[in-house]
Amino acid sequence: MRIDRTTFHDAVLAGVVAAASVAMFVLYGPDRLQAQGLAVDGMRAPDPLGGLLVVLACVPVAARRRWPLAAMCAELVPETLLSVLGYGTGVSGLAGLVLLYSVASYRGLAMALAGLLISMVTYVLGALAGPVRATSWSEHVVVAVVLVAVWGAGRSLRLRRAYLDELKDRAERLERARAADTRAARAEERSRIARELHDVVAHHVSVMTVQAAAARRVLASDPDLAREALSAIEHTGRMAMAEMRSIVGVLRTDARAELGPQPGVQDLPVLVEQMREAGLATRLIVEGEPRPLPAGVDLAAYRLAQEGLTNSLRHAGAGAKAVVTVRHDPRELDVRVQDDGLGAAGVSARPGHGLVGIRERVALYGGILNIGPLPGGGFEVRARFPLKDGQ
């Protein structure tokens, strides 16, 4: 059977207090006190009965943490008998002080005050009922001060313990909150990286796939045109590798990433020309006076046009035409990608990761996104980004 460590410590403390109390009881009898010039009228000499009562008063110390108030009340019974029978002056013994301290330290304020009141009342009753009388009121004042001081020390320890527990609990809550924020930040970063990788890979691979199919069809009949298509595939692949290297470079911790500007609206002519080389007749229309845009909005607008043209290349069908329209307004940036292809019939019913990423980008900057077939045929991807004054 395993013994609780605190119970063992309290039992040892009870034994030490009992030994000290018995030693004081025996050594400081009437003869010793009278030799020191102290009044001992009515005081009984130490005997086995008094020693037994002293031991009984110390035994409850072993339960001072589990039942502190009950232990203190149990201690006060033999302590009061010692005073009534004339073995002492009624001053609370060492065990009583230990138990009063325990009540104040391990129980709430109401129970602690009750313990202090019980100690005071018991002392007064023992002093009045016992044959030994104090020579002056100062002795009673000293006893009262000692009791209040011991009680205050116990309350101070309890308040300090509660304060430390609160600090630990607050630290744990902050640690959990920080861990949750870290997980959220990592998830957001993974989502952002996934969007960037998808936008780069999906676009360039789609262009390369279309060009490879065209090269395969004309390989036998027109080798020169096939070589041009293969050269375009090589160029597109190099562009994809360069963009992927730029994105993945920020993830490296063992080397410094090569930083470069992110694509924006100013790069749309290059994107349109690339789509033309892939076989999609594409036109760019810019309305309004271009002006500097916030970096996030600039990148989101470019990715929207890229994703819209990639979907047109995949699903619009042969001979389809696409138009990219960018309208600069004082308070809004309007970006549209329209084609005259197959419309809803050419798009899978399940939205791809690219369109999901576009929705997240547009929502991040408070924009409005419309994706769907046009009434007269074809398909449209359109986003309107709000701009603040001065942007």
pTM of the model: 0.46
Q: Is 283 helix (H, G, I), strand (E, B) or coil?
A: strand
Distance in angstroms (rounded) separating the CA atoms of residues 279 and 259? 32
Residues carrying CATH 3.30.565.10, the chain? 265-391
pLDDT band (50, 70, 90) for residue 82: confident
DSSP 8-class letter at 387: -
Instruction: Indicate the range of 33-37, 156-160, 314-318 predicted with least confidence.
Output: 33-37
> Distance of alpha carbon 95 from its chain centroid, rounded?
46
**181 has a pLDDT exceeding 50:** yes
pLDDT band (50, 70, 90) for residue 333: very high
pLDDT band (50, 70, 90) for residue 263: confident
pLDDT band (50, 70, 90) for residue 42: low
Distance in angstroms (rounded) separating the CA atoms of residues 319 and 70? 95
Q: Which two tokens stand for residue 151?
A: 């009680």
CB 325 within 8 A of CB 335: yes
CB 39 within 8 A of CB 73: no
Residue type, 111: M
Beta bridge partners of 336: 325, 382
Three-state SS string across 67-99, please?
CHHHHHHHHHHHHHHHHHCCCCCCCCCHHHHHH
Q: Which two tokens stand for residue 4?
A: 């609780």
Distance in angstroms (rounded) separating the CA atoms of residues 20 and 55? 10
End-to-end CA distance of the chain: give it in Å, rounded: 76
**137 has a pLDDT exceeding 80:** no
DSSP element (H, E) containing 154:
helix 137-218
Residues 6+ apart with CB under 8 A from 310: 202, 203, 206, 207, 354
DSSP element (H, E) containing 146:
helix 137-218
Q: What is the mean pLDDT of the chain?
A: 79
Q: Output the CA angle 25-27-33, nearest 5 degrees.
A: 95
pLDDT tens-digit readout, 283-298: 999 998 888 888 888 8
Q: What mean pLDDT do residues 116-141 have?
A: 73
Percent above pLDDT 70 for the chain: 79
Q: Output the CA angle 164-166-171, nearest 5 degrees.
A: 95
CB 96 within 8 A of CB 146: no
pLDDT band (50, 70, 90) for residue 350: very low
Residue indicated by tokens 């957001």? 188
Domain 265-391: CATH superfamily is: Histidine kinase-like ATPase, C-terminal domain (3.30.565.10)
| Pick from 313, 297, 326, 384: nearest CA to 354 | 313
